[in-house]
Structure 1
Amino acid sequence: AWVDAMGTKGSYVELFGAPSDNNAQTRSNGFETVLSQYSDLDKKAQEVANWDRTQGYSKMQSMLQANPDVAGVISGNDEMALGAIAALKEAGKLEGKVIGGFDGSPDAIDAVKAGELTYTVLQPVAIFAEEAVRQADHFIKTGELKVAEEKQLFDCILVDASILEVYDFVGPFQLDR
């Protein structure tokens, strides 16, 4: 989604979560796996912002001073992306920037609605929790696991302008058609 919005060329920066958190490295590795396929996408900087909006803001300010013409920001979570948006707004450089977040937070969805955040990725934790309860119930009733693998994949939902035309996000993790 980020490449689709950005195009296959241009410069960008990355905001990285807490280095001690496996999710930070997993997300960054995922970004790198995809973005490295596009030789004309040029990562100018990567800064650790520890999943924090205030740190995302200050790190974006620093990266923007060193790289005033970056076209995009890819972020490991919504809080850091929202901090980057604040820094870009303050510098008068938000217009036309491609900014991607992750978590589907209410503030991020509002930023997508406002046209400031290109997208966020919603992890539908209510669906995860429901399936966990089903599996626990099955185990309690039968003494057998419902699935063979402990780790399971669940689809996330890309929240961008196109999905907002179809769904109304009425609260955290709730969709109405």
Structure 2
Amino acid sequence: MVQFRRLGATTAAAVLLVSLGACTKTTPSTASAGEDADQQVRSTAGSGDGCTADKYNGGVPKRDLKAITVGFAQSEKEANPFRITETESIKAEAAKRGIKLITTNAQSDLNKEIADIQSMVAQGAQALIISPLNSEGLDPALKAAQDAKVPIMTIDRLLTTKQPCVDYIGWIGSDFVEQGKRAADALIAATDDRGETAILLGASGVNVTVDRTKGFKDQLAAKNSKLTVVAEQTADFTREKGRSVTEQLISANPKLAAIYAENDEMALGAIAALKAAGKKPGDVKIVTIDGTKGAVQGIVDGWISGVIESNPRFGPLAFQALEDFYSGKGVPPKTIIVDKEYTKDNASAELANAY
């Protein structure tokens, strides 16, 4: 049986499962290496015919996207390749479609993201795409947009306590529980299913962290894994904390055999800590989630055993959702994307497709 022993800070949040309703539409759940780098839809979930301008929060004016200003609220500092690529994708798609775009960056500050959204509404943005910093806490910004009849499309992190087609149009993102399950499978394979394991948790208060943790633990239990989770500690999705936390973990757990990092930045920080401790590639097996060039290069160099992709190229799907919203075609509550996987067998060939 899998054993869990908690050391250090841990997340304490309710588990959110992505539930697929009666009208769920599903496409193949995996993508092979070498496919187009843009996001592809795996499935949609929710009830009804989809959200349209007529239905949204009692009805909002129909717009021609090329005749209005769209605002994009980025949540985190663009020192992280995921955020850099996400913003670049939004900007590139807006330019491709001839849409006027204004952007903000909250610099990982919830209060600033609230102010950013309110500011874009005040500047005359008539539709918004937001990447929430936290799954909760944006209420003042959502209220400002509602009052101004400015619809919001959400990407990446889910607003867990809000209603689609009331507080936001819909959501586009990954199945984070499934990502955690796939990471567990990869780590079981890399370790021959034995050894002490640590989890580098992402930021508290977001569904990504909750779901990736749940998926990983559930899969270990389902497989009756012999991996023993001896520590799990928050490293906030950052490289710096990934390094400092790993330094503590390997000091407290000298027999540590594996690390599950809930994003690539934390994994790269862990590698720095392992190098400083005199470890060699492969001494501690690492599996991570994202798909950055640094992490995929880590597979090539032997430091990382596997990377589960989390594709940040939201631009095409996000703007298509706005088009479908205004055209009357409708937007489902949830659009779940395909995420591929990088392994030692495809990392060299796929490095160019990483971000």
Q: Aligned ranges for residues 80-159 of structure 1 at < 5 Å?
A: 80-96=266-282, 97-126=284-313, 128-141=314-327, 143-145=328-330, 149-159=332-342
Gapped regions of structure 1 (runs ≥ 5): 173-177
For 1:67, the equivalent position in structure 2 comes to 253
For 1:175, the equivalent position in structure 2 comes to none
1:105-134 deviation per Cα after TM superposition (whole angstroms, max 9, x unaligned): 2221222222212222222333x4323333
Distance 1:103 1:132 in 2: 19
Distance 1:168 1:110 in 2: 7
Normalising to structure 1: TM-score of the pair?
0.84
| Aligned AA (2:302) | G
For 1:27, the equivalent position in structure 2 comes to 212
| Aligned AA (1:156) | D
Q: CA deviation at 1:84?
A: 1.0
Residue 288 of structure 2 contacts residue 307 of structure 2 at CA under 8 Å; is this kept in 1? yes
CA gap 1:17/1:171 in 2 versus in 1, 3 angstroms: closer
Query: Among 219, 229, 232, which residue is 1:43 paired with?
Result: 229
Distance 1:22 1:83 in 2: 22
Q: Please provide the CA RMSD for this pair.
A: 1.9
| Aligned AA (2:291) | G
Distance 2:193 2:354 in 1: 34
| Aligned AA (2:309) | L
| Aligned AA (2:246) | M
Number of residue pairs aligned between Structure 1 and Structure 2? 168
1:66-88 deviation per Cα after TM superposition (whole angstroms, max 9, x unaligned): 11111100011111111111111
Percent of aligned pairs sharing the same letter: 30
| Aligned AA (1:59) | V
Secondary structure, aligned partner of 1:162:
coil
1:35-61 deviation per Cα after TM superposition (whole angstroms, max 9, x unaligned): 223341101111111111111111111
For 1:57, the equivalent position in structure 2 comes to 243
Residue 57 of structure 1 contacts residue 87 of structure 1 at CA under 8 Å; is this kept in 2? yes
Select the structure with the greater relative contact order (CA < 8 A; seq sep ≥ 6): 2
For 2:182, the equivalent position in structure 1 comes to none
Between 1:68-77 and 1:92-101, the stretch displaced more is: 92-101
Q: Which protein has the bigger helix share? A: 1
Q: CA deviation at 1:165?
A: 4.7
Q: CA deviation at 1:171?
A: 5.8
1:2 aligns with 2:187: yes
1:86-115 deviation per Cα after TM superposition (whole angstroms, max 9, x unaligned): 111111224322101111122212222222
CA gap 1:109/1:165 in 2 versus in 1, 3 angstroms: closer
Residue 12 of structure 1 contacts residue 42 of structure 1 at CA under 8 Å; is this kept in 2? yes
For 1:169, the equivalent position in structure 2 comes to 352
Larger radius of gyration: 2
CA gap 1:157/1:28 in 2 versus in 1, 3 angstroms: same
Residue 297 of structure 2 contacts residue 351 of structure 2 at CA under 8 Å; is this kept in 1? no
Gapped regions of structure 2 (runs ≥ 5): 1-185
Distance 2:315 2:221 in 1: 34
For 2:143, the equivalent position in structure 1 comes to none
Residue 85 of structure 1 contacts residue 94 of structure 1 at CA under 8 Å; is this kept in 2? no
